Structure 1
Amino acid sequence: MSDSQAPSTRSIAFTVPAHAAEALQETVDDFLAHAAGGTTPAQRAAEIRAQDRDAGLDSLAHLVEVAEGSSGQARVAAQFLAGLYNGDDFPCSLTDFRRLDDDLMEHCIQVLRLDSRHATEVHRYFPNGEVRWQAMIKRWGLADEPAHTPLPDDDVVHSCQDDNKLDAPGYRDVTLFVKVAVGVGDVCSLGLALSAADFERLAADLVAVHRLAWTRGKPLDADEDEPRPAWL
């Protein structure tokens, strides 16, 4: 004897014009035939939504793992997740978004599809999600960025001028300000915050470069009557 129970049933009555009765019967028969096999449009749509949700959750977990890691694309993944968390405060630049490889791009699209359902906010899929997102935002300094600031390319050299400002109010940590050309006729003042240890290394490196140049005679870029600096 089988322990399986028959599915519950429900009686539904229709009152329709006589000329429509046959068409209604055909429609009902077709629906019941497909429903038995789980292939009605509504059932198929529900199945696809469930599959999309599972794929989206897997992709979301993967992106969080990347953003909390140290790979070359971790910061962009963090920007994307922060944008879903609060797009007004942390807008994600499409220029940066395009830097992702094909695999991570697909994961982002899956997460966008998941988020479009508006079931819940992305960080709420995780225990202590709020704490994890805030830690991620703090780690990558996303709260300190002006809106729509693209990431600089790695190892690109920019010409700049000393802005004649040093910010070290009683501490050895120093902020060095330089003027950088960011466009045609557009110059901005940029502050480089250095720890005491980093600034000491920078000063030593600069002195070493100048000392080496002068030990070989006069540097190639020195003026004709330029004397050797006294600080060497």
Structure 2
Amino acid sequence: MESVPLPSDGATPEQILQSHALRDWIWEAVEALSPTLRLPLVLRYFSTGITSYQQIAEACSVPVSTVRSRLSQARGAFAQALTATAATAHEDATRRTQASWQEAHETLAAAERGEFGKVVKDRFSSGVALLTGGRRLGGVDLLLAGMDGDLSAGVRQRPLHVVAGRSLVVWEMELINPPDDPDHCPPGVAWIMSLDGGRFDRVSLHHASRPEATPAPAAV
């Protein structure tokens, strides 16, 4: 045991094991929630860029008052789900998240090689719906065209944060615009994706707000 590398925070093997078990238990309870309650809870407590009530409302396409109500319901249901799943086997949430990080990187790399269509065929439902602002914009063809359009314009994406459950995955991306068109896209986008049978069947894109320009000082 003395030769096992441990984190620099001084945690013991027992403490590390306990933290991993707790993480897996929490995710099992999250999965027990209804999709309507699961999404705002995950965004509020597990994402990094969609945490305010206003941002969650925009991502879920509901009023802020509805977000408050759903989060209140979700917290109550989550507490019950923790009790109900305490004695069950819990899937390895860390491994699932690491795999999703890898998938995000591989998806973007494939897109840059012109192979995004193959990824979509392999990992997405044939009837996948692409949404923004709660509105269905299209399906597979629009998903492919959107990625191709961004790449053709010189826009690249870089994963910043990943939240991965069995039924809901969030990839938070930085959007890197070309030097000659720095305002082509907002600074970031979140791919909020639901899964059915292990395949992505809904992709909702939530773009980060563009920072407001600082007004130039008045001439004296």
Please give the range of the TM-score, normalised by the shorter of the 2 chains: under 0.3
Q: Which has the larger radius of gyration?
A: 1
TM-score, normalisation: structure 2: 0.23
TM-score with structure 1 setting the length:
0.22
User: Which has the larger strand fraction?
Assistant: 2
Q: Which has the higher contact order (CA 8 A, sep 6+)?
A: 2
